[in-house]
Amino acid sequence: MVSEIDHFMDGLMRRNPHEPEFHQAVFEFVETVMPYYLDHRKYTDARILERMTEPDRIVSFRIVWEDDNGVPHANKGFRVQFNSSMGPYKGGLRFDPSVNVSILKFLGFEQTYKNALTRLPMGGGKGGSNFNPKGRSDREIMRFCHAMMSELFRHIGESTDVPAGDIGVGAREIGYLFGKYKQLSNHFTGGVLTGKGLSFGGSEIRKEATGYGVVVFAEDMLKHHGKTMSGKTVAVSGSGNVAIYAVQRAMRMGAKVVTVSDSRGFAHLPNGFTDESFAILQDIKENRRESLAVFAQEAKGVTYHAGKSPWSVPAQVGLPCATQNEVDETMARVMAKNGMECLAEGANMPLTAQAIHVLKDAGVIFGPAKAANAGGVGCSGLEQAQNAQRLLWTRDQVEQELEKIMRSIHEQCVEYAPVKNGVTDYQAGANIASFARVADAMIGYGYL
For residue 125, count other CB atoms closer than 10 A to its CB: 33
308 is in an annotated binding site: no
424 is in an annotated binding site: no
Q: Exactly one of 126, 207, 232, 285 is catalytic; name it.
A: 126
Spatial distance between the Cα atoms of 60 and 40, rounded to a whole number of angstroms: 37
Spatial distance between the Cα atoms of 207 and 245, rounded to a whole number of angstroms: 8
165 is in an annotated binding site: yes
389 is in an annotated binding site: no
Contact 303, 224 (CB under 8 A): no
Contact 424, 365 (CB under 8 A): yes
Give the β-pairing of 317-320 and 233-237. Answer: parallel
Q: Is residue 196 annotated as a catalytic residue, yes or no?
A: no
Q: Give the DSSP letter string of 19-55.
A: -HHHHHHHHHHHHHHHHHHHT-HHHHHTTHHHHHTS-
114 is in an annotated binding site: yes
For residue 386, count other CB atoms closer than 10 A to its CB: 21
Nearest to 139 by CA among 172, 169, 170, 164: 172
Cβ burial 70-89 (10 Å sphere, 16+ → b, else e): eeeeebebbbbbbbbbbbbb
Which residue type sits at 72? P
Contact 98, 73 (CB under 8 A): no
Annotated binding site for NAD(+): 210, 241
Annotated binding site for substrate: 90, 111, 114, 165, 380
* Catalytically annotated residues: 126
Annotated binding site: 90, 111, 114, 165, 210, 241, 380
